Amino acid sequence: MGEPSILVIHRRSTVAQISSGRSDAMARLLRHKDPLVDKYVEAHAHHEAAMSAVRSALEERGLDATWRHDLGGIEPDDFDLVITVGGDGTVLHASHSIGETPILAVNSSPETSVGYFTAGGASEFPDLLDRVLGGDLGCQRLFRMEVKVNGEVVNTRVLNDCLFSHDCPASTTRYELRCRDGKEMQLSSGVWVATAAGSTAAMRAAGGRAMRAGSRMLQFAVREPGPFGGAEYPALPRLTKGFVKRGETVSIRSMTAAAKIWIDGPHVVVPVEFGDIITFSGGARPVRLCGYKEKNNS
């Protein structure tokens, strides 16, 4: 890769966001050095050091880079390489705008961030960068999920998972779940649908199983199922967990007046109306993560 065009996508630390006026309450705690915010201060220091380390490594190699937090007006696929500096949330944020461009993800605060999608920390970045530029660091293809509402595609770049639920977490979600094993009216607190990449996150916490990296399959899990028929029919639903093979789909028909699909966290949200049919399928265009396979031994 000769003279590559590089885009660096970085997170803003919680402390930086507070300093710009995000939370007056937390700002007061920071001013008074309350122990409650010690971890945020520590993470901010690590993140700033990581940003400096990435910038220095690029400059030492004579490489110019475009730095962005907000991707407005930027097309990542116009670049040869995307470097993310942050954690898994930064990778998820970036992945929604990236098609084929390889991503080298740096965990800017390993002490406070899992960094499942990242190739390593700031101290490892110079070596990782050299290996990427030399073509010596492999990329893992992680297949994404496609989501349709009433047959219309609403997202083809879901890297982690989707949550279908009532838009109020304290309210019950009613729907019909459909998969190859049949269909069933259900009542619960929502349904998780995850890719292989997302199977180690909320899906696993909900009782699912970790899947092989690179799989095109999906997995679903019903959260806190209850008896749809009430006191007269107290049986719990049977279609509460399952896998969706390549070429298959799992779908949900909403019976909830105010529901949403939460995509890869809280920031990408699709409203769902009563009677809408949401269809999830795996094997969508993959994202390419440099060093992922090597770090995770998958």
From residue 132, alpha-carbon distances to 80, 102, 127, 154, 294 in Å are: 11, 10, 9, 33, 13
Rounded to whole angstroms, how far apart are CA atoms 85 and 63? 17
Pair (162, 218) in one structural domain: yes
Pair (33, 119) in one structural domain: yes
Mark which of 137, 152, 172 sits at the end of a domain: 137
Pair (115, 213) in one structural domain: no
The DSSP 8-state label assigned to residue 11 in this structure reads P
The answer as to whether 52 is a domain residue is yes
Residue 18 is encoded by which pair of tokens? 């507070």
Rounded to whole angstroms, how far apart are CA atoms 199 and 205? 9
Residue 298: per-residue pLDDT: 46
- Closest by alpha carbon to 12, among 49, 66, 48, 56? 48
Residue 6 is encoded by which pair of tokens? 């590089």
Pair (18, 147) in one structural domain: no
Residue 17: per-residue pLDDT: 82
Residue 297: per-residue pLDDT: 62
H/E element holding 296?
Answer: helix 292-296
The answer as to whether 1 is a domain residue is no
Residue 264: per-residue pLDDT: 96
Mark which of 81, 107, 137 sits at the end of a domain: 137
Residue 26: per-residue pLDDT: 81
Pair (215, 183) in one structural domain: yes
The answer as to whether 238 is a domain residue is yes
Question: For residue 189, what is the domain's CATH number?
Answer: 2.60.200.30
Q: Which amino acid is at 270?
A: V
Judge whether 278 and 151 are in contact, CB under 8 Å.
no
Backbone φ, ψ for residue 70 (5° rounding): -90, 130
Pair (104, 170) in one structural domain: no
Structural domain including 148 reads 143-285
The answer as to whether 280 is a domain residue is yes
Question: For residue 113, what is the domain's CATH number?
Answer: 3.40.50.10330
| pLDDT (tens place) for every residue of the chain, 298 residues total | 458 999 999 998 888 887 777 678 888 888 888 888 888 889 899 999 999 999 999 999 999 999 999 888 999 999 999 999 999 999 999 999 999 999 999 999 988 888 999 999 999 999 999 999 999 999 999 999 999 999 999 999 999 999 999 999 889 999 999 998 789 999 999 999 999 999 998 999 888 999 999 999 999 999 999 988 777 777 888 999 999 999 999 999 999 999 999 999 999 999 999 999 999 999 999 999 999 877 776 4
The answer as to whether 291 is a domain residue is no
- Closest by alpha carbon to 291, among 81, 128, 49, 169? 128
Mark which of 75, 102, 137 sits at the end of a domain: 137
The answer as to whether 294 is a domain residue is no
The answer as to whether 76 is a domain residue is yes
The answer as to whether 49 is a domain residue is yes
Residue 2: per-residue pLDDT: 57
Residue 29: per-residue pLDDT: 82
Pair (187, 273) in one structural domain: yes
